Amino acid sequence: MSSKILEYFDYESDKSILHQVDPRGKALFVVVITCITILFRELVPLLLILGAIIPLTFLAHFFKKWMRTILILLPLILLIIIINALLLKVEYPTTIGIIMALRLIILTAVYGLFFQTVSPDDISQMLIKFRLPFTFAWAISTAYRFIPTLANETNIIMAAQKSRGLQIDRGNIFKRARNMVPLLIPIFASAMRRSWQLAEAIESRGWNATKNRTYLYSLKMKWWDYLVILVCLAIFGLFLFLVITQVDLPIWMQLYIPSKYELKELFKAAWDWIKGLFTK
Amino acid sequence: MSKKAVSLKQVTFKYKNSTKFAITNVSLEINADDFLLLVGYSGSGKSTLLKTINGLIPNFYAGTFGGSIKINGEDIIDKNPAQLAKQVGFVFQNPENQISNLTVEKEIAFPLENFGVPRNEIITRIDELVELLGIERIRYKSPFSISGGEQQLTAIAAALALDPPMLILDEVTAHLSPNSANDLLKILFKLNQEHDKTIILSEHRLDRCLNYVNKIAYIEQGKLKISGSLKEVLSSKEYPENLLPKVPRLFYELARKSNDFNNFSSKFRKSFNVENLPITISDFKKLMQIEGEYHD
């Protein structure tokens, strides 16, 4: 499970159209969509956003991976819908539940797209362009670079401790959590050792030798990047206009699930039906 | 008389929170054309000694330091490793833990970027280095999809990026297969012979290095016991028999046996003199041929 979630954040070197877009443009896209998704409280606009993002996932060859992630998250999504539908004291609780779930689905798609198409090096280059110190950008890309190494080491330590008789997947959830302690100490110790050795190595390679660091590769905006940024800003502007002017959305956008089909009502009907079976 | 590359005088160091000294009163001179092999048991202070030459000690590790270290006649005590990177290249034991970039090319560029070298110069330097070390194939690959030997070559390329006259290698072959270890040593030999690099190598398995090194230093419990040419050191009483390479060990073994058995000729016995100590197999062959006991 955990390794599958890490896989979701994996960068895949590919030559898709979205890979060629500057990471700054994509970062802006992520920010804009996140704002819009969180602030819209109607079902139809969210469905429209989702409809607009699905073609993008195909463009980035991300659709299959996204669907796998959604499958993993399915229990959580259903839980969000059910809890909201049953517990919220508003007019249309099921609709709100579905909106919440939709937000989650859209955000997984948007962030997944970003991490799928932006290499860790580009992320650090982007942070440098945003005037963040190099140390910080380097830390981010190095953390990313060590994920597979540490995952591999965790597997080795797990196998070693299992071969000494540690039972990791036995017992209830608390027991299992306690079983993890013999894993955490060696993992932590080896991560510490690694970080020391890495620090030694970068010190010996002239870390912070001069203030004016140069870069082998740095980001350059192309015409389509300006286009992407322009489109993102236009969408954001439209959204701000809608929020500030408080214009009522057209009727067809204010669609709700009718109270006849509220989850609460459906559950009640099902319960009555089951009760009926036994009273007869 | 060749130029002195490094001179250590009475170097002593104790790590913080440690009760005993890691190295005590080490004095050692290394010439510019040397390929020095540093030998010693685990925990004898080999790595500590190497780190003093590159400034990691005492600038990166806290502790008590004494003595003086000069590189090309210049005192380096208050210089940090980054300032010394142009004079000393350092390669560590574990290749995985010294590579922090996501392609081989970027790893080689890293020190050059740190020193603010312009982009086009970085590219020409990378071109030179990948050709020198024969790693053109893996230039654009991730360092984690290549073999351990190639990772170590990448690390060497990064250490050589700033073109330091000296290269220090701390047990670099420990994680490698015998074949790639041999290839690596051959490359180091080439760097020493053709590119005039001073090379200091610490290593546990001596046999594979004997054809390449010209000097050897033995360190025991933080003290430098003996240093000098291969013959000098390996024939010395200070040098432990456990750490002898195969050929000298066989030689000593035979010398001992030759006194026990009568079927060795007296001429043969006489040749078993420390002065004739063979280092490599071909030395041994020669010795035997002189004495007429061995024929091809």
Report CA dihedral (B257, B259, B262, B267) to the nearest 10 degrees.
100
Provide the shortest C-alpha distance from residue A243 to chain B (in Å).
43
pLDDT at residue A8, as a whole number: 66
pLDDT digits (tens, 9 = 90+) for B89-111: 999 999 889 998 889 999 999 99
Of A119, A194, A203, the CB nearest to B81: A203
B81 interaction partners in chain A (CB closer than 8 Å):
200, 203-204, 207
Greater model confidence, B292 or A90: A90
Residue A81 CB-density burial (10 A; 0-12 exposed, 13-18 middle, 19+ buried)? buried
Provide the shortest C-alpha distance from residue B52 to chain A (in Å).
12
Q: Is the ipTM of this complex over 0.90?
A: no
Q: Do B114 and A208 touch (CB under 8 A)?
A: yes
pLDDT digits (tens, 9 = 90+) for B26-74: 999 999 999 999 999 998 999 999 999 988 988 888 899 999 999 988 8
A133 interaction partners in chain B (CB closer than 8 Å):
none
Phi, psi of A13 (to 5 degrees): -75, 120
From CA A154, how far away is CA B133, in angstroms rounded?
33
> Does the pLDDT at position B271 exceed 90?
no
Q: Do A205 and B105 touch (CB under 8 A)?
A: no
Of the pLDDT bands very low, low, confident and very high (cuts 50, 70, 90), residue B293 is low
Domain spans, chain A: 1-118+221-275, 131-209
Whether A60 contacts A11, CB under 8 Å: no
| Other beta carbons less than 10 A from residue A254's beta carbon | 12
> Does the pLDDT at position B296 exceed 60?
no
Amino acid present at B162? L
Q: Which architecture characterizes domain B4-242 according to CATH?
A: 3-Layer(aba) Sandwich (3.40)
pLDDT digits (tens, 9 = 90+) for B172-206: 998 889 999 999 999 999 999 999 999 999 998 88
pLDDT digits (tens, 9 = 90+) for B146-171: 999 999 999 999 999 999 999 999 99
Q: Do B100 and A206 touch (CB under 8 A)?
A: no
With vertex at residue A25, the alpha carbon angle to CA A22 and CA A29, rounded to the nearest 5 degrees, is 140
Of A120, A194, A214, the CB nearest to B113: A214
Token duo for residue B76: 């380096």
pLDDT at residue A140, as a whole number: 87
- Residue B11, Cα to own-chain centre: how many angstroms? 19
Q: Do A201 and B83 touch (CB under 8 A)?
A: no
Q: Do B82 and A209 touch (CB under 8 A)?
A: yes
pLDDT at residue B281, as a whole number: 83
Percentage of residues in chain B with pLDDT exceeding 90?
57
Of the pLDDT bands very low, low, confident and very high (cuts 50, 70, 90), residue B268 is low
Q: Do B60 and A199 touch (CB under 8 A)?
A: yes
Which residues from A are below 8 Å from B when comparing CB atoms? 119-121, 138, 141-142, 145, 148-149, 194, 197-210, 212-217
pLDDT at residue A244, as a whole number: 87
Measured CA to CA in angstroms, residue A209 lies from A165, A212, B104, B200 at distances of: 49, 9, 21, 24
B94 interaction partners in chain A (CB closer than 8 Å):
197
Q: Do B90 and A210 touch (CB under 8 A)?
A: no
A145 interaction partners in chain B (CB closer than 8 Å):
100-102
3-state class (DSSP) for residue A206: coil
Provide the shortest C-alpha distance from residue A244 to chain B (in Å).
45
A214 interaction partners in chain B (CB closer than 8 Å):
112-113, 116-119, 122
pLDDT digits (tens, 9 = 90+) for A139-166: 988 888 888 888 888 889 989 988 988 8
Whether A191 contacts B96, CB under 8 Å: no
Strands in B35-39's sheet, in edge-to-edge order, are: B88-91, B166-170, B198-202, B35-39, B215-220, B223-229
Residues of chain A where predicted confidence (pLDDT) is lower than 50: 1-2
Phi, psi of B54 (to 5 degrees): -100, 0
Write down the H helix ranges in A164-222: 173-179, 181-204
pLDDT at residue A1, as a whole number: 42
B158: closest chain A residue by CA: A205
Domain spans, chain B: 4-242, 245-290
Of A120, A206, A215, the CB nearest to B85: A206
A218: closest chain B residue by CA: B119
Of B88, B109, B115, the CB nearest to A216: B109
Provide the shortest C-alpha distance from residue A168 to chain B (in Å).
28
| Other beta carbons less than 10 A from residue A13's beta carbon | 9
Whether A99 contacts A41, CB under 8 Å: yes
CA-CA-CA-CA torsion sign (B161, B162, B163, B164): negative
Provide the shortest C-alpha distance from residue B268 to chain A (in Å).
52
Mutate to test the interface with B, among A146, A216, A219 (most CBs of B within 10 A): A216
Q: Do A120 and B82 touch (CB under 8 A)?
A: no
Largest CA distance in chain B: 73
Of B56, B94, B105, the CB nearest to A203: B56
Of A148, A201, A207, the CB nearest to B98: A201
Measured CA to CA in angstroms, residue B21 lies from A104, A246, B29, B40, B204 at distances of: 59, 75, 21, 16, 22
**Residue A202, strand partner residues:** none
Of A120, A207, A208, the CB nearest to B102: A120
Of A201, A212, A216, the CB nearest to B97: A201
